[in-house]
Amino acid sequence: PVRSFFLAGKDGFGGQGGQWSKVVVDKDAERGSALCAPANSGAGMMAHSSYFSAMPPGLYRLRARVKVTDNTAAKRAGCIEMTSQLAGLRLMINFHPRMFSKADQYQDFEKDFILRDNGWWCVRANTDGNQSWSIDSVKVFPLYELEDRQLFSIYPGSAGDIDASLVPRRRRPYKALFIAGFGYDFYRPVQAIRLLSNDVTIKPAWVYRDFSSAHIRGFPETPEELFDYSIVYLCNVPVKSLTLQQKNFLYEYVRRGGGLVVLGGHQAYERGGGRGSLLEETMPVAMVKATSEGMLYFPGGVPLTVDSDIPWLAEISVEQKLLVYFLHNVGVKKGSKVLARAGGTPFLVGGEYEKGRVICVLGLPLGDPGEGATGFWKWNDWTYLLRDVSWWTMRAVEIEAP
C-alpha cells in the first residue's frame, strides 16, 4: 500500500515548528496546510519521520510535493532524504529552484530507491535557509518486490563468502541448532530433539522484535559455526527476519549436505516472506501467495494420516483420532515425498536438495478438538514422528553405520 505523509501534521513526522520550519495555512496544499521553511533561517532539519517498520526488500518510489517562492535563484532550497538502518542513505532529492517551472506552485518530484534489509527506514526534510519554500506531502509507493536472487544480482557479494571446502557436520555427538519463533513450544520440538541421541546438544536462537522489525538473536555469525551443526530447525520463523547473508548460509548448508526441518506457524512459510527466498529453493514445497491462498482452515478439523509404507517411520501409532485445523497451503515439488496428509492435503513433506535433505511440517498446532479427538500436536507419538523425520533428514543411518 502507498504510505502518505502530510508534513504539516503529526502523523508519522515530528520536529516541525522550530527554527527551520513552521506549519502554515496553504489553500493550495492537499489538506489546507503545509510545512514551510523560512528564508534566512540557516541550514537545518525541517522535520524527521518516525523510524518505520521494515518493508519487504524491493523497488520503491518516493514522491514529494514541493514549491519554492523564487524559481530563479541559484542556490539550492533544500532536500529530502530517505535512510535505512543497515544500508544507510537510499535516496536524496535536491530541490534546486530552476527545477520548478513556476514560483509558488506545487510540483511533484519522484525518485526510485531500493530497500534491501530488514531494518527501519526514515525520511528527513532539510532546508538550506536560502529562501522560503514549502513541502505539502511525501508519498512512498511500492513498485516491485525483489527476490533473494535478484538482490544478489544487484548487490554482488552481499551474501558473504563461504569456503568451498566447508561441509556440514556428519559425526557424533549430534549438535542441533534450534531457531524458535513465537509459540514454538506447542510443537514440543525440544522433546523431539532430545530423542535423537542421549548426547545431543541443543543451541537455541530466538526470533525477537525491536521497534522496526523481526531479527534472530543467537544465529551463527560465521559459516563455520553454522556448518558445525548436524541439523537445523526453524519453528515459526519468519524468513524475512533472516538477513540475506543468513539465508545464504542456510542455503549453502543444505546444498552441501545439511539437514533442515521447517515447522509452521502464523509467521512461517508464505506468511513470513518465504516465497521467492533462497530457503524456498531448498524446500520440497513451493509457497503460494499469503493473502489469497496461503492458509487453509478446517473448522471441524480433518484427520491426520501417516504413510504406512515409509520404513524409517518407526514406533508410530495412529490409533488416536488425530485432527488438523490449520494448514499452510503449498505445491509439492517434483521428486518430493508426502509423508503425511491432513485429509487429502499435504501435512508432512520431505525432499532432497543437491546433497541435503529438508522436511516441511505444514500443520499449525492450533484448534480445539472435541471429546474423543486429539490435536496432532498433543498426540503421544508426535515427538517420535519428529525424531524419525529428523533422523532421515540428517542421514543418521549413514552416520551410525559401522
Q: Are residues 205 and 325 in the same domain?
A: yes
Give me the pLDDT at residue 402, please.
59
Distances (CA, A) of 255 to 166, 198, 284: 11, 28, 13
Q: Are residues 110 and 62 in the same domain?
A: yes
Which distant-in-sequence residues (6+ apart) come within 8 Å of 78 by Cβ?
A: 37, 46, 95, 125, 126, 127, 128, 133
Q: What is the CATH number of the domain that holds 26?
A: 2.60.120.260
Q: Are residues 251 and 382 in the same domain?
A: yes
Q: What is the CATH number of the domain that holds 361?
A: 3.40.50.880
The CA distance from 239 to 233, in Å, is 13
Q: Are residues 385 and 313 in the same domain?
A: yes
Q: Which of 3, 68, 66 is nearest to 29 (CA)?
A: 66
Q: Are residues 154 and 236 in the same domain?
A: yes
Domain limits for position 302: 149-400
Give me the pLDDT at residue 229, please.
98
Point out the domain boundary residue: 146, 178, 207: 146
Q: Are residues 86 and 185 in the same domain?
A: no
Which distant-in-sequence residues (6+ apart) come within 8 Å of 221 by Cβ?
A: none
Give me the pLDDT at residue 401, please.
65
Point out the domain boundary residue: 128, 146, 164: 146
Q: Are residues 136 and 159 in the same domain?
A: no
Point out the domain boundary residue: 129, 146, 163: 146
Distances (CA, A) of 400 to 170, 172, 381, 396: 10, 8, 23, 6
Q: Are residues 328 and 254 in the same domain?
A: yes
Q: Are residues 86 and 197 in the same domain?
A: no
Q: Are residues 184 and 126 in the same domain?
A: no
For residue 266, the 8-state DSSP code is: T
Cell of 350: 520431505
Structural domain total, the chain: 2
Q: Are residues 127 and 164 in the same domain?
A: no
pTM across the whole model: 0.89
**Per-residue pLDDT in tens (0 to 9) along the chain, 402 residues:** 789 999 988 778 999 988 999 999 999 999 999 999 999 999 999 999 999 988 989 999 999 999 999 999 999 999 999 999 988 999 999 999 999 999 999 999 999 999 988 889 999 999 999 999 999 999 999 999 999 999 999 999 888 889 999 999 999 999 999 999 999 999 999 999 999 999 999 999 999 988 778 899 999 999 999 999 999 999 999 999 999 999 999 999 999 999 999 999 999 999 999 999 999 999 999 999 877 788 999 999 999 999 877 777 666 777 778 999 999 999 999 999 999 999 999 999 999 999 999 999 999 999 989 888 999 999 989 999 999 999 999 999 888 765
Q: Are residues 141 and 167 in the same domain?
A: no
Q: Is 178 helix (H, G, I), strand (E, B) or coil?
A: strand
The CA distance from 365 to 115, in Å, is 34
Residue by residue, what is the 3-state secondary structure of 207-252?
EEECCCCEEEECCCCCHHHHCCCCEEEEECCCHHHCCHHHHHHHHH
